[in-house]
Amino acid sequence: MPTRDGPVHVATTRRQYKGKVYETHLLRRSYREGGKVKNETVGNLSHLPAEAIELIRGQLAGKTYVEADAAFQVTRSLPHGHVAAVWSRARSLGLPGLLGPAGPERDLAMALIVARVCAPASKLATTRWWVDTTLAPDLGIETASTDRLYRAMDWLVARQGSIESALAARHLAPGALVYYDLSSSWLEGSHCPLAARGYSRDGKAGRTQIEYGLLTNDAGCPVAVEVFPGNTADPTAFVSAVETVRSRLSLERVVMVGDRGMITSARIAALRELGGMGWVSSLRSPVIKKLARAGAVQISLFDEANLAEIAHPDFPDERLVACRNPALASERARKREELLAATEAALERIATSVAAGRLVGADRIGIAVGKVVGRHKVAKHFQLSIGEDHFSYARRAEEIAAEAALDGIYVVRTSVDAATLSAAQVVAAYKALANVEQDFRSLKAVDIDLRPIFHRLDERVRAHVLICMLAGYLVWHLRQDWAPLCFTDEEPSTPADPVAPAQRSAAAGRKASSQRIAGGEPAHSFATLLTHLATLTRNRIALAGGVEFDKLAIPTATQRQAFDLIGSAIPTVLK
C-alpha cells in the first residue's frame, strides 16, 4: 500500500453502551481514492490526557502555543477597588467642584480626602501609601512632596468658607434644625499657637489640645467645622457657631440644637437679641431639682406617658418638655447603689482601723476619709463623724431618695412653637444629637482617625481638620449607600414613644446573628468592606513582543454590589 502524506487532524467519536459514553480520539488523515473521500487512521490518542489532546488538536488546526510564562507576565498589581469606589462617590457628590477649579492643588486635596477615608495616616505616610494604589498614578501625584501637600492644604483651607456655604445650601434650609457639638483632640509637639490645656474629651489630661466644633443637619450629615484653642469653653464655641451660621453659611433663620453645656441660659439670652434664631437644648440637673422642689416636675407627670409639657415663670416664651426614661432610671439606680456600696466598703475598712487604734488623729482620719468619699463622687450621700479616736458614717437616706425620685428624668427646653414642633418632635430633635456624637466617633477613631495632630502652624491644623470633615462627609454618604452590605440597620424604627430607647429592626437582628447579608455573602463593617474592595486590583499585563495593557481583576459579587449601590460602573482609571 503506498504511503500517503498530507495534513492530519484529530477526530473524536463517541458511542454509548449500557448507559455509559465512550470517547475515542484518533489521529486521522483524509484522502481521495476513486473520487471518494476516505480516512486513514494514523494513531490512537485516547490514552493521552485531555489537555494534551486539545493541544494537539489546536496545533494541527494552525494555532501556535508558547509557554505560559513566556506569553505574558503581570508586571504590577495595584489595589484599586477601594480608592475607585471612594473617588466615584466623591465625583457623584460633586466634591471636586465644591473644592474649587481644576488644578494640581485640587487633585492633591482630593487625594488627601480619599486617602483619609481609605487609609488615615500622617501626611508623609500617606505619600508612601498612595503610590502603592491606583490613586497616585491616576492623579499624577506619584512624586508629590510633603511641601506640595502643605501648599495644597493652604489652598484648601483658604476656600473653606465657600465649601461650607455650598454644603449648607445642599443640606440646610431656612428654619431647619442645625446641630452643633464640640470635641477635642491632643497634639504632638509644643509650638502650635492653638495648643492649650483644657478639658480633654480624649482622656489625655495634661496634654495640650485643640477643640473643634462640628455643625451638621438633623440626620448628622457634616456641613461645617471650626477649630478653637484647646481651652475654649463650650458656650464661647457656640457663639462662634451662631456667627458661622449667620455670616459664612448665610442662614438667618434656623433652630440651633445643642446640649445643656453648650446652649446655656446666657447663650439663649444672646440668641433672643439676634432674632430669627431658635433653639432646642435641655436643663441642667440643679435646675431640674429646683423645678422638682417647686412641684413643677414630679413623678406623677409620667403616670400615662413618658413625657409631659410643663411651664414655669423662670422660662418665659419657652416650652419645657419633661421626660422620664425608665431604662435610664433603672441604670442610674443600679450604678448609684454600686458606688454607695463600694464607698461603704472602703469606709468600713477605715472605721476598723480607727477602732483598732491603727489610725489615730482627726486630721489623719479626715485625709483617709476624704480620699475614699471623693473617689466615686458620692460624699453628699454620707453623714460622716470624725474625731481624734473615732469615726462613723451613715447614709443620708432622705437625700438619696430625693435624688432617686429624679432618676431617668430630663427636661428639654425650646423656643419653637407647638405648631412647628410637637412635644414628641422636640424630644426627638434633642435626641438626634446622638448623630453628631456618632460623627465625632467616626472622625476621631472609627473611620477618619483625626487624632493626634502633628502640625505646628495653626492654618495647617485647620486644614487637617477640614480634610477630616470632608472625609467624614464622604463616609457619611458611603455608610448610607453601603448599608445593605454592612451591619448597619437599613430599616431603623421610629418608636411611637420618643423617650423610649431605639430598637434594632428585625432585619438588622438577622444580619447580626447570621453574620450574613440578604444574598448570603458575609456582612461587613465599613472598614472590612474597604479592605475587601482593595482586593479588586488593576494589573499591568506584559505580552510577548513588548505589548502592555492594564486589566482589572474579576470583581466579586460583593464588589460589584458595592459599586452598584453608589450608582457607578467600576472605572479602570480614576479620572
SS (H, E, C) 1-64: CCCCCCCEEEEEEEEEECCEEEEEEEEEEEEEECCEEEEEEEEECCCCCHHHHHHHHHHHCCCC
Q: Give dist(CA 149, CA 284) in Å, integer.
A: 45
* pTM for this predicted structure: 0.83
Q: Give dist(CA 274, CA 281) in Å, integer.
A: 18
Check: CB of residue 179 under 8 Å from CB of residue 490: no
Check: CB of residue 93 under 8 Å from CB of residue 474: yes
pLDDT, residue 3, reads: 55
CB within 8 Å of 379: residues ≥ 6 apart:
373
The two beta strands, 382-386 and 391-395, are antiparallel
pLDDT, residue 143, reads: 93
Where b means 16+ CB within 10 Å and e means fewer, 293-328 reads: eeebbbeebbeeebbbebebeebeeebbbbbbbeeb
Side by side, the strands of the sheet bearing 548-552 are 72-79, 537-543, 548-552
Check: CB of residue 468 under 8 Å from CB of residue 452: no
pLDDT, residue 115, reads: 97
- Read off φ and ψ for residue 78, nearest 5 degrees: -115, 135
Where b means 16+ CB within 10 Å and e means fewer, 49-72 reads: eeeebeebbeeeeeeeeeeeeeee
User: Which has the closest alpha carbon to 38: 1, 89, 80?
Assistant: 1
- Read off φ and ψ for residue 486, nearest 5 degrees: -115, 180
CB within 8 Å of 120: residues ≥ 6 apart:
447, 448, 449, 450, 471
10 Å CB burial of residue 447 (0-12, 13-18, 19+) is buried
pLDDT, residue 64, reads: 73
pLDDT, residue 1, reads: 45
Q: Give dist(CA 172, CA 251) in Å, integer.
A: 9
E strand spans, 377-526: 382-386, 391-395, 409-414
Handedness of CA 115, 119, 124, 128 (dihedral sign): negative
Where b means 16+ CB within 10 Å and e means fewer, 269-287 reads: eebeeeeebbbbbbbeeeb
CB within 8 Å of 225: residues ≥ 6 apart:
164, 212, 213, 214, 215, 465, 466, 469
pLDDT, residue 82, reads: 98
Distances (CA, A) of 572 to 81, 539, 552, 566, 575: 9, 10, 7, 16, 9
pLDDT, residue 66, reads: 61
Q: Give dist(CA 436, CA 411) in Å, integer.
A: 20
Q: What is the pLDDT along the chain (575 residues), one digit of tens a residue?
A: 445 677 888 888 888 888 788 888 888 888 888 778 888 888 898 888 888 888 888 888 888 766 666 567 889 999 999 999 999 999 999 999 999 999 999 999 999 999 999 999 999 999 999 999 999 999 999 999 999 999 999 999 999 999 999 999 999 988 899 999 999 999 988 889 999 999 898 888 889 999 999 999 999 999 999 999 999 988 888 888 888 888 888 888 889 999 988 888 888 888 888 778 899 999 999 999 999 988 999 888 888 889 999 999 999 889 999 999 999 999 999 999 999 999 999 999 999 999 999 999 999 999 999 999 888 889 999 999 999 999 999 999 999 999 999 999 999 999 999 999 999 999 999 999 999 999 989 998 889 999 889 999 999 999 999 999 999 999 999 999 999 999 998 888 777 888 888 888 888 888 999 999 988 899 999 999 999 999 999 999 988 777 889 999 999 999 999 999 999 999 999 97
Distances (CA, A) of 453 to 109, 208, 211, 319, 425: 18, 11, 11, 42, 39
pLDDT tens profile 266-297:
888 888 887 788 999 999 999 999 999 889 99
pLDDT, residue 258, reads: 93
Q: Give dist(CA 508, CA 520) in Å, integer.
A: 14
Q: How far is CA 356 from the centre of its chain?
A: 57
pLDDT, residue 71, reads: 67
Check: CB of residue 346 under 8 Å from CB of residue 441: no
Q: Give dist(CA 164, CA 172) in Å, integer.
A: 11
Conformation bin of residue 232: beta by default, left when phi > 0, alpha when psi is -120 to 50: beta
Q: Give dist(CA 413, CA 316) in Å, integer.
A: 11
Q: How many CA atoms lie within 13 A of 306 on its CB side?
A: 20
